[in-house]
Structure 1
Amino acid sequence: MKEEILSNITIVSILIVVGSFLLVYYLIPKIIFMVNHHNLTEAPIERSSHVESTPSMGGLSFFVVLILAIFFIKHFDDDNIGLNFVAALTVIFIIGLKDDLAVSTPRARLLVEILAITIMFFHSGYHVTSFDGFLGFNEAPTLLMDIVHIIIILTIINAYNLIDGVDGLASTIGITIFTMFGLVFFTLGLNFYFLISLSIIGILFAYMRYNFSHRKKIFMGDTGSLIIGFCIAILSLKFLTMEASLFTHLTFKLENKLFIIAGIIAVPLFDMMRVIGVRLIQGKSPFEADRNHIHHVLINLGFAHYKIAMILGLLNYILAVLIIFLASHTNSFQMMVIFLTIFSLFLAVFFSLSKRVAKKQTTILNDSK
């Protein structure tokens, strides 16, 4: 009876999302008490979007619940990737926790992220030898493909980490991303990855309750954003390295796999590309923190945090659906033009909003004289 229940995907899906939600909902108040008791709250700095010291280790609960979820759904782990995943998540958890307690250097964080990726690469299923026709490229050495995938994973992890700037935004964007991944993996019958997506959706919904709270507010911190970003990256890696035969269940062209991933994480990716580009043009380090993100601009325009989360979350859904639809009807060369066009429109909108912010600040300055 027990085995029948644990092998029923419908029952397990309900248990995993509800269980993840309830466990995070239970754990976070305990974490808040611990952080406050030991005076480990995050004090606001110049680029912060909050004005009071706030607990910032919500990611502790993410780690605990994900490890338990992976154990609970091990019967669906047809790839036998669970042990690698747990080990890699532990490495990411350690550097994230270290960042929340005492900031790490970008180099140290990068090296630890590469170590976590390497642990995942010990699994043979994450190695491929083809670009699948992407921009006309096909066969390639395994080493080259691994390097490309490492760069993609690092980009995804840090794109998500950078979007965590206002209440509810990282969790809302995360929910949109894992909803899309969940639909894809459910369609393909890859239940382990589907259930991982459901678990994280439950985690983020529970966390959002406290992230928006005034009395029991907490941030996910680098512990949380790195863990969630890493999970996004690993699901992306699985998608990019799946056997070509699995894609017969989907409508888009095989050569557009990378654009599908880019569409699913569109808002964090576009924002990171723009921010790093601006920093490089200004002669600054791409790792130098600032208030030049899209959510900072919306804050300066007077938008409440929940509205920013809703706007950018909805935008991410729209861009994901649009790009997936277009990837079914165009080749990778056409998709590159479309992708760059969408990114250009994103830049144009941001520039327009930035001009409004500058005009608003000039008006306030003149009125104060």
Structure 2
Amino acid sequence: MQIVFAILSAFVVTFILLPVLIKVSRSIDLLDNPDRRKIHSISTPSLGGVAIYMGFALSVLITVPFHLLTEIKFILFGTIIMLLLGVRDDVASVTAKHKLAIQLFCALIVVYLSDIRLTGFYGLMGIYEMPMWFNIPFSIFVIVALTNSYNLIDGIDGLAGSVGILILGFFGWAFLAQGELAYAVMCISLVGSLFAFLYFNWFPSKVFMGDTGSLVLGFIVSSMAIHFINVADGGGFVLPINASVGVGMSLLVLPIFDTLRVFAIRFYNGKNPLDPDRNHLHHGLLKLGMNHAQATITLVVFNLTILGLSILLNNYLKNGELIIAIASVVLVFLVVFEIRLSKLKHLKKQVTKPTNFYISKSA
């Protein structure tokens, strides 16, 4: 019953706040305006993440029993800082080094104070344990890297929200099955907020989540991924999870794969890997003639397919073997995708589609 109330309350609060936020943003001209770097052609409010967070936070506070809030208090504190960072960046850009410093601080809070960290390599390369002097900075790096990877997929209407629902919905189910009520409610509350957000963010979008939303979402997803790896291995789930690292990576395959691919392209072209461009997977699908909804659904189905495959194989393969199997499937997809893009470029076909889509500042 608590889970149902969590998702409903988060949905209702976010659904009520978003139209107000959109109206206020337009009245004070607090909009993400098009320029030569961005692709959307219509000035659009980009603080949708504020409404997402309000629905999420209020739902968690009224649903999680008070004595269980201590389990997630440092994560919630970290999300507040990430929220403020996102608002500041959406209103007036923050320098990359300042943004990184704040993200490192938030990750340190979660890793050191909440003890959400990778304690080893879980059998990868034959390594199971690693010393604290290494696992703390390594865990901080993973959280910051995954947070920014998630931020990069916020490039078309509906994508970041839809992927977030898939990932956090799975985590919520896993934590609930393991008796981790506070973590389950946190994930499911955010799912409720994202469902409400998608109503306004589905193409044509009336609001963007902005860095305000994508940074908070990426921070929670990355933290929950580490917690999932630690509590899920061999846990008593409806579907047994015996290779938690492989399953966890399959959940995050889209942001990880997209980031690695984009960075490789930028390195190959001699560009700064942090410079924004239009080489993301979602941009490629749009070039192939898909609209925002079709591209979003395609990428979500791709992510869901990889997840389903990993769940089926995790009973038979160890973490390293499962990761190799996932990488092999992704490689096949990549080859087919790149061949289609190269043919499109070679034939010089131009697809006439609406171009008012949003590209994250960090993308």
The normalised TM-score by structure 1 is: 0.88
Maintained 8 Å contact 2:15/2:196: yes
Give the Cα–Cα distance (whole angstroms) in 1 for the partners of residues 34 and 122 of structure 2.
47
Please state if 1:178 is matched with 2:178: no
Alpha-carbon deviation of 1:144? 1.1
- The residue aligned with 2:43 is 53
Matched, 1:82 2:72: yes
> Superposed, which structure 2 residues align to 1:133-212 within 5 Å?
133-212=123-202
Q: Is the 8 A contact 2:118 2:139 kept in 1?
A: no
Partners of 1:326 and 1:62 in 2: CA distance: 35
| Letter matched to residue 69 of structure 1 | S
Structure 2: which amino acid aligns with 1:89? T
Residue 59 of structure 1 contacts residue 221 of structure 1 at CA under 8 Å; is this kept in 2?
yes
Contact 2:46 2:90 survives alignment (8 Å): yes
Quote the Cα distance in structure 2 between the aligned partners of 1:363 and 1:127.
Answer: 47
Q: Is the 8 A contact 1:70 1:82 kept in 2?
A: no
C-alpha distance in structure 1 between counterparts of 2:13 and 2:296, whole Å: 24
Bigger shift: residues 117-126 or 83-92 = 117-126
Secondary structure at the aligned position of 2:121 is classed as coil
Q: 2:247 aligned with 1:247, yes or no?
A: no
Q: CA deviation at 1:36?
A: 0.9
Partner of 1:114: 104
Asked whether 1:234 is paired with 2:236, we answer no
Shift of 1:204: 0.8
Secondary structure of the residue aligned to 1:80 is helix
Please name the residue that 1:220 is paired with: 209
Number of the residue aligned with 1:271: 258
Per-residue CA shift, 1:149-204, capped at 9, x if unaligned?
12221222112111111111111111111121122112212121111121111111
Partners of 1:345 and 1:273 in 2: how far apart?
A: 15
Higher helix share: 1
User: What residue number does 2:328 align with?
Assistant: 341
CA shift in 2, pair 1:155/1:124, >3 Å: closer
Matches of 1:364 and 1:56, distance apart in 2: 27
- Rounded to whole Å, the distance in 2 between the matches of 1:364 and 1:318 is 28
2:356 counterpart residue number? none
Q: CA deviation at 1:288?
A: 0.7
**Aligned twin of 2:247:** 260
Q: What amino acid sits opposite 1:103 in the alignment?
A: S
Tell me, in whole angstroms, the C-alpha distance in 2 between the residues paired with 1:324 and 1:109: 36
Partner residue, 2:306:
319
Equivalent residue pairs, number = 351
| Higher Cα Rg, which structure | 1
What letter is aligned with 1:272? T
Residue deviations 1:304-362 (CA, integer Å, cap 9, x gap):
11111111111111111112222221123322421331232232133123214314535
* Identical columns (%): 28
Verify the 8 A CA contact 2:60 2:189 in the aligned structure 1: no
C-alpha contact (below 8 Å) 1:240/1:257 kept by paired residues: yes
- For 1:159 and 1:169, the matched residues in 2 are separated by 13
Q: Residue in 2 aligned with 1:73? A: 63
The answer as to whether partners of 2:111 and 2:139 remain within 8 angstroms in 1 is: no
Q: Which structure ranks higher in relative contact order (CA pairs < 8 Å, sequence separation ≥ 6)?
A: 2
Q: Distance in 2 between matches of 1:364 and 1:19?
A: 42
Aligned to 1:3: none
Q: Tell me, in whole angstroms, the C-alpha distance in 2 between the residues paired with 1:321 and 1:306.
A: 22
Q: Give the CA deviation at 1:242.
A: 3.1
- Deviation, structure 1 residue 126: 2.3
- CA shift, 1:47, in A, is 5.1
1:208 deviates by: 0.8
Deviation at 1:133, TM superposition (A): 2.0
Q: Conserved in 1, the CA contact under 8 Å of 2:52 and 2:213?
A: yes
Structure 1 gaps, min length 5 = 1-9
Shifted more, 341-350 versus 261-270: the winner is 341-350
Unaligned runs of 5+ in 2: 353-363
Alignment partner of 1:291 out of 278, 293, 296: 278
Matched, 1:25 2:15: yes
Say whether the 8 Å CA contact 2:156–2:292 is kept in structure 1: yes
State the shift of 1:40 in Å: 1.4
| Inter-partner Cα distance in structure 2 for 1:208 and 1:360 | 36
